[in-house]
Amino acid sequence: MLIFGFHPVREALRHRPHEVEQVLLAERRAGRRAEEIVRLCERQRVPLERIASAELSKRVEGVHNGFAAQLRASTAAEAGGDLELVVLVEDIQDPHNLGALMRVCEGAGVGRVLIRDRGSASVTAAVVKTSAGAVEWLSIDRVPNTANAISAYRDQGYWVYGAAGEGDPCWDVDLTGKVMLCIGGEESGLRARTRKVCDRLVGVPMQGRVESLNVSTAASALLFEALRQRRAKTRDAGQNES
């Protein structure tokens, strides 16, 4: 897919550079905006090609103002993720933590990942590398407002659970059906407002001297418990039919 215009290209480079295959920049395009796009391409290691404006106009059906980007075809649809299992992430600032979390999400069969736009790391090359390529198989969206995203999914019948150390043990909570799991940042976890709008808080009781797990490890415990429950439910349903 080809996107065009300064703002769409800049946002793609800032927030989902792993999806940008190549940036096209009109040869005579100069100035602050062109310099910003060049810097972003260098930072994110995205190939940039300078082409004649007339040639760019042939490729783009619309007003491009000298900027266009070719996005990779999404492989997420081929991954077979569970669309009724959604993860919402807010305020994870370390790209390595975000990448590790994406690897867990893909391994547990998450159907979609929502990342709060402000306060969270972008899906950069470092995130892709840490995820061991898992990012390429996930459907990832940036959302401007956590509460609005939760409300939209709740309207579709999803139960919303917040990950918190003091939450109910995850194995005592029904994590089958339509589930959204909200995961907070490294420092303080979920935002206070997000905690309030969740239907329930879930966690992993700690038995040792360490008070908590890191983000990806805690998410792994929660998501694979959800996967265990969902597989058991499917297996039991098949046995009852037979």
Structure tokens at 84: 């009724």
Average pLDDT score over residue span 163-172: 94
E strand or H helix at 67: strand 67-71
CATH superfamily name and code, 76-241: SPOUT methyltransferase, trefoil knot domain (3.40.1280.10)
Classify 1 as helix, strand or coil: coil
163 or 242, greater pLDDT: 163
**Mean of the pLDDT values across residues 29-55?**
93
Residue 136: band (very low, low, confident or very high) from pLDDT cuts 50, 70, 90: confident
Model confidence at 154: pLDDT above 80: yes
Query: Would you place residue 228 in the very low, low, confident or very high pLDDT band (cuts 50, 70, 90)?
Result: very high
For the chain, residues classed under CATH 3.40.1280.10 are: 76-241
Fill in the amino acid letter for 79.
Answer: A
CB atoms within 10 A of CB 149: 22
Interatomic CA distance for residues 29 and 31, integer angstroms: 7
CA distance 200 to 162: 6
pTM metric for this prediction: 0.75
Beta strands in 107-187 (DSSP E): 110-116, 140-143, 159-169, 179-183
Cα 150 to chain centroid distance, Å, stands at: 15
CATH 3.30.70.20 fits 2-71, yes or no: no
pLDDT of residue 94: 93
Domain with CATH 3.30.1330.30 in the chain: 2-71
Query: What pLDDT is stored for residue 190 in this prediction?
Result: 94
Per DSSP, helices labelled H in 16-111 are 32-44, 53-59, 95-107
Q: In the predicted model, what is the mean pLDDT of residues 121-141?
A: 83
